């Protein structure tokens, strides 16, 4: 709860392992002993402002997501160590796929174990459809959207983004670009160079007034070239605040990213055996 407004965290677990080089969705690949997705869920359910968490998953991956919910909620309830959590998650990920009705009942039962209820909903065929499904399932006045492939999320990012809602209807974690960014045409020829002093690399979490984001989705959600939710507010003419994060908050997309993520997790002490 923030300023008497309920807060819903929406965690996106769609995507694939194509660019990552994995045979499964990359968010279920284990890094430093835990599935990538689990790191984000652990942070979200422990944040003091978050009232509920919606996990948006593919129908075919419902059991895998449920196993992570079970592991995280068990940890919140008992304060069990990282080793026990990792072992429980590993065992649970080998359970057979059950019917969706049974899995949903299990999800609701697991949610009771945590201060923050965790519910699952089916994703869409695109990222924007998945976000919309999460928005429709959310009960909060404020929604925080997190990519499940960013394991280095910090509680401070979540808190600062939510607190920014006292002044703005939208914000995003971001870092200043360390490189010169060139804009090209379809032939790979440079058409523009951005001003590095005002160029940012956008990350997640991103936070919004739910009704403002819903309205933007309904009006601009099918527009081409939309890769994040801030873009929808920009099209609607709504100011978006940049909340400075740091360069460890990478999205695991390629095999090189995995090497970096493992290093960051070990250095932070968050990985199993770190």
For 117-140, write each residue's pLDDT tens digit: 999 999 999 999 999 999 999 999
Predicted structure pTM score: 0.84
Q: Which residues, including other chains, have CB under 8 Å from residue 187's CB and lie 6 or more apart? A: none
Number of H helices, E strands in the chain: 9, 11
| Tokens of residue 146, six digits | 């997190």
Summarised one tens digit per residue, pLDDT across range 157-208 is 999 999 999 999 999 999 999 999 999 999 999 999 999 999 999 999 999 9
Which region among 94-98, 142-146, 183-187 has the lowest average model confidence (pLDDT)?
94-98
Does the pLDDT of residue 112 top 80, yes or no?
no
Q: Which residues, including other chains, have CB under 8 Å from residue 186's CB and lie 6 or more apart? A: none
**What integer pLDDT is reported at residue 163 of this predicted model?**
98
For 35-60, what is the mean pLDDT? Answer: 96
Rounded to the nearest 10°, the torsion over CA 32, 36, 40, 46 is: -50
Mean pLDDT taken over the chain: 87
Does the pLDDT of residue 42 top 70, yes or no?
yes
Give the domain 7-268 fold: Spore Coat Polysaccharide Biosynthesis Protein SpsA; Chain A (3.90.550)
| Tokens of residue 180, six digits | 């010169």
Q: What percent of the chain has pLDDT over 70?
A: 81
Q: What percent of the chain has pLDDT over 90?
A: 75
Residues in the chain, overall count? 274
């Amino acid at each position: 709860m923030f300023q008497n407004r309920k807060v819903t965290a929406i965690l996106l677990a769609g995507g694939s392992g194509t660019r990552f080089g994995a045979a499964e969705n990359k968010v279920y690949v284990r890094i430093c002993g835990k599935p990538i997705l689990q790191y984000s869920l652990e942070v979200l359910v422990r944040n003091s402002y978050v009232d509920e968490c919606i996990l948006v998953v593919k129908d075919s991956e419902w059991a895998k997501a449920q196993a992570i919910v079970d592991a995280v909620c068990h940890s919140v309830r008992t304060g069990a160590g990282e080793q026990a959590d990792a072992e429980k998650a590993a065992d649970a990920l080998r359970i057979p796929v059950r019917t969706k009705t049974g899995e949903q009942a299990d999800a609701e039962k697991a949610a009771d174990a945590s201060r923050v209820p965790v519910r699952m909903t089916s994703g869409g065929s695109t990222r924007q459809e998945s976000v919309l499904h999460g928005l429709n399932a959310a009960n909060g006045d404020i929604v925080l959207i997190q990519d499940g492939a960013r394991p280095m999320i910090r509680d401070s990012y979540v808190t600062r983004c939510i607190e920014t809602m006292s002044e703005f209807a939208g914000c995003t974690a971001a870092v200043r670009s360390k490189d010169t960014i060139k804009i090209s045409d379809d032939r790979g020829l440079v058409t523009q160079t951005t001003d590095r002093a005002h160029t940012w690399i956008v990350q997640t979490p991103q936070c919004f007034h739910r009704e403002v984001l819903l309205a933007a989705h309904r009006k601009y959600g099918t527009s081409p070239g939309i890769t994040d939710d801030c873009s929808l507010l920009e099209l609607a003419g709504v100011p978006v605040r940049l909340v400075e994060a740091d360069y460890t908050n990478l999205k695991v997309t390629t095999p090189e990213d995995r090497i970096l993520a493992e290093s960051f997790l070990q250095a932070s002490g968050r990985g199993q055996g770190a």
